[in-house]
Structure 1
Amino acid sequence: MGQITNSRLTDPADPGAMPSMTYDILIGDRSYSSWSLRGWLSFAAFDIPVRVQATIMYRPEFAQDRHVFAPGLRTVPAVRTPGGGLLTDTIAIAWHLSEAFPDRGLLPADSVERARAQSMIAEMHSGFSALRGACPMNLRTAWEGVTPSEAVLADLARIETLWTSALDRSGGPFLFGDYTLADAFYAPVAMRIAGYGLPVSNRARGYVDAHLDHGPLRLWRALGQTDGPEQPTYEMGLPRRAFPIAPPDA
């Protein structure tokens, strides 16, 4: 795994602030911020050094931390590049890194498979709002008794179609064989399936298990246990179980 370091937030306007010769990423709570997970995995899974600066969402200091990182910043994650650029969206982070590090395997080498991976990433970035809204990512606990709506089931069916098609072509364990940005973008989906015991096929569950065993994700989840108290925003009012929850037919 690449060099992943933590640092305090430093105001770029501070005359004492030293220019960075590496990337800086601002992330939210590791246990809850699925977009932060995608952004961080885009570095950590490909041995790209990055300096991590963390903030806690839904706290008064969240707005100030965003402002210190980049005035006017509205969301996390965000990345400052070594050249002084600012990337404020996960898909921008992904495309930038794939161009800056073409030898790290962020995307498949084959042009046809690369196009498929890019399309899967884009669909994840813009879609599956029912699943994301009904089942927020929570890596601290699993919830029992979730009854997926028809809209959530439709999202899961489409996700399974995408996953199965890719895994059938590559043979796994990840979507395109080796881990790529497509897996980084679907990692929070896998964590939702694991955290809510959502109904998926054995093939899809095997892919979820590959994420659960992935070293960078395991590190992210472990670090999330130190991010402070649980966020009441993510309370589901359902019976809690240890994460990950067993699939329905286990």
Structure 2
Amino acid sequence: MNSSHATDPALTASIERLRRFPAPQAVLFDLDGTLVDSVEDIRAAVNALLTELGMPTRSRDEVLTWVGNGARMLVERAMAGRFEGFAGCIDAHERHAIADAAMPRFRAIYQGICIDHTVPLVGAREALAFVHGAGLGVAIVTNKPLAPTQRIIDALGWRMFVSVVIGGDSLELRKPDPAPLHEALRQLDATHAWMVGDSANDVDAAHAARMPSIVVRGGYNHGNPVELLDPAPEVIVDTLAVLPQLLAAILP
């Protein structure tokens, strides 16, 4: 499936970095900020919960900065109004108890509205279709809880492409730990894969799992430029529309 890429030096350099790794048998995708823009529905659920609790609501920019470390941490950050959550608060124990008690309600709210305004990002469907059509395994590995993840996949008509879904509550550990990536590989019966994401969690997990990472600009990396990630991803792309070109150049 090798294709010409000599006219694009940046693409050529990306392909050369990916060639340092074995050809992938699967591609693992993050969800929020990678395949979909979901922040409006997440924000709506957060603010509905905060309103019920008599707490101040939060802006889109705040929520955009706080997502990525699982639903429980998101709720804590929203309640605290800061990225650090309850860390350093003298009444942290009491606040944690309130957040823990609120989680079933938050999950119920979000499950009910998680597809209201969530939309696929540029090139997402085409990338999934290409990977599937190339005979590779496709997994979504996200820190979002499994139930809304499954609902989003079904609503967007992606079930035909996706073989494995690992949510933030599927295992005891979440990204940046590599355990979810290893579990996805196990279920796909694959040894070598690429990780496609948008944040430090994805890059760190891929690095620990000894697989290359491809990062999409403009995602949910806690408001930080992906160019500053350390360790750095092997490839940074503007959209997933580039992924088929990368794969076509690598696959035999």
TM-score range, shorter chain: 0.3 to 0.5
| TM-score w.r.t. length of structure 1 | 0.36
| Larger RCO of the pair (alpha carbons < 8 Å, separation 6+) | 2
| TM-score w.r.t. length of structure 2 | 0.36
